Chain A
Amino acid sequence: MTSISHHPGVGLRLPHLAEMVVTRPTAGWLEVHPENFLANPHAAELLTELSAHYPISLHTVGISVGSATGIDCLHLKRIRDFADRINPILVSGHLAWSAYKNEYINDLLPLPYTEEALRIVSAHVNQVQDGLGRPYLIENPASYLGFQSSTMRETDFLSELVQRTACQLLCDVSNVVVSAHNMDFDPYQYIDDFPAGAVREVHLGGYTPEADEATPSAELWIDTHAAPIAEPSWDLYVYALRRFGPRPTLIEWDNQLPSLPALMNEAAYANKIALEVGHAFAR
């Protein structure tokens, strides 16, 4: 299926895949990490089957547009081939880096917001969009660290990236909440400054508070995707919808997975909120 629904979608993880194929619950759309399917032909086969019934979005975790040592062209080619097979409605990735030379660091690592980083990320986003033959959406990160060397705010960096590459953006509202808490900024101001015209998708995910080793008696919020979506995220979601207008919204849950119906309930709740805000997502 090639058209996206404004009814919220859910992140589809491998433990739910077979159940999804068998039960085919109502869902606006599905999003997967293609890296989980490239080396798993059986899972790819099942996803191909699902793609006849649901719009599918690809959310890459391994392209690493922020790597100073370049991006993996072979991996990009594999993503392209997979995208050609699935025919996704959207393809997205992160404003982050995860590869250094030929080593893959299995996490999304932060970037300084400098002209040098902007030049490198812009070049890689152009390379990715050319390689994929599709627009590429860039997601704002969940941050625990920043850099004194940064010369611009994250929202300025993203605005300039959009200008230079014509890429689109994925606004992870929960990441804004997490980053705002950890890095001490106003999440609502962040949404105000976010380049709204480029937003094509919104994410919501759960986070987990823990003791902040860096600051006595303070909490650090970790973007675990291992919990229900918290109240501050729902509140900011309402605010973001009012600013961005209706946008395809995805519920992300990666760890300590709930049952598939429970996941669908989170999506239904997002839909209820969107309707209350006044956007006719359910049409």
Chain B
Amino acid sequence: MPSLAELQQQFREAVITGEVQRAAPAALIGGHEPSKRLAVHARNYETSLVEALLVKFPATGWLIGTPFLREAARRFVHEHPPQGPCIAEYGAAFSNFLSNLLRARLPYIRDFSELEWHVGQVAIAVNSPSVDAGEFSTIDAARLPDITLILQPGLRYLDSEWPVDDLLKLYLTETVLDRFELTRARAWIEVRGARGEFHLNRLDRGEFTFRKSISHGRSIGDAAEHALDVNSKFDPGQALAGLIAAGLITAINRGQSKEED
């Protein structure tokens, strides 16, 4: 008799691969051919996760066709089972998976679907109260470069070789065109949202680099250096004022930076 762990390993193989006849454990009970009932669990697994992905990527379905998206999702769930029980967190790797399937035909598919993933994530965020300019006035100017900031949770940054935000706006506005050609052009996109809403903002490269660095836990000084590396005309003071004015800062951390990049 197999141990419970061995039995569950066999079940796992049958349900996740979907090959229930090959992988079904022996000595099951249920109908004349019990192994065939294992297909119910395999179907529940596949269907629930495929449907979850379809709900998260409707614009991607619009772009590549829902039947193709469904088939890609079906393959994805068998190759990449969830690593946790919160299905809202499942699908972050789907953009790369789609890119591997479609890169030759749609070189922007990874960025487009990643943008859609980010939109879905920020739309379920909740804004925190923002820090106002007065709180910065209490900080010694010499120490400002060492300070890190906590930004709103509903913020994501996407550096794309393609203007995928324009493409997403076509979907969102239900624009019908006879023909649309996406021309390669780099786009630095900020996705901001909370409580069911979102906005897509284009930034210049310096401001994008600054904000993304800050969001990754780098200090103000470090983030400014990064921004100046990509844009010599970058103005750190103006960029910091922009963050404050937009209500994107939720806390000032006077300790060391996290250096998460």
Contact = CB atoms under 8 A, between A and B. Distances in A.
Nearest to A61: B85
Contacts of A105: 11-12, 15-16, 45, 81
Interface string B12-27: 1001100000000001
Interface stretch (A35-43, A129-137, A227-235, A263-271): A35-43
Interface stretch (B35-43, B67-75, B142-150): B35-43
A99 B85 contact: yes
Contact of B87 (A69, A106, A222): A106
Contact of B89 (A39, A114, A143): A39
15 contacts: A45-B195, A62-B85, A103-B82, A103-B83, A106-B48, A107-B15, A112-B7, A116-B4, A143-B30, A145-B28, A145-B30, A145-B34, A146-B28, A213-B31, A214-B30
A54 interface: no
Given A35-B85, A213-B36, A216-B32, A103 B8 contact: no
A92 interface: no
Query: Which 10 pairs from chain A and chain B are nearest by CB?
Result: A62-B85, A214-B31, A146-B29, A68-B5, A215-B31, A39-B88, A148-B27, A213-B36, A68-B4, A100-B12
B182 interface: no
Contact of B84 (A104, A149, A216): A104
Contact of A213 (B7, B39, B84, B123): B39
A244 interface: no
Contact of B32 (A67, A97, A143, A215): A215
A182 B33 CA distance: 13
A220 B86 contact: no
Contacts of B28: 145-148
A100 B48 contact: no
Contacts of A146: 28-30, 34
B68 to A, nearest CB: 23
Interface string B40-73: 1100110011000000000000000000000000
Interface in A212-227: 212-216, 218, 220, 222
Interface of A: 35-36, 38-45, 61-64, 67-69, 72, 75, 97-100, 102-107, 109, 111-112, 114, 116-117, 120, 143-149, 182-183, 212-216, 218, 220, 222
Nearest to B195: A42
A144 B88 CA distance: 28
A144 B194 contact: no
Contacts of B32: 214-216
A212 B37 contact: yes
B15 to A, nearest CB: 6
Interface string B122-150: 01111000000000000000000000000
A214 B125 CA distance: 46
B107 interface: no
B196 interface: yes
B1 interface: yes
A214 B45 contact: no
Contacts of B41: 107, 109, 144-145
A35 B245 CA distance: 35
A214 B15 CA distance: 17
A216 to B, nearest CB: 7
A222 B40 CA distance: 8
Given A109-B15, A144-B40, A182 B30 contact: yes
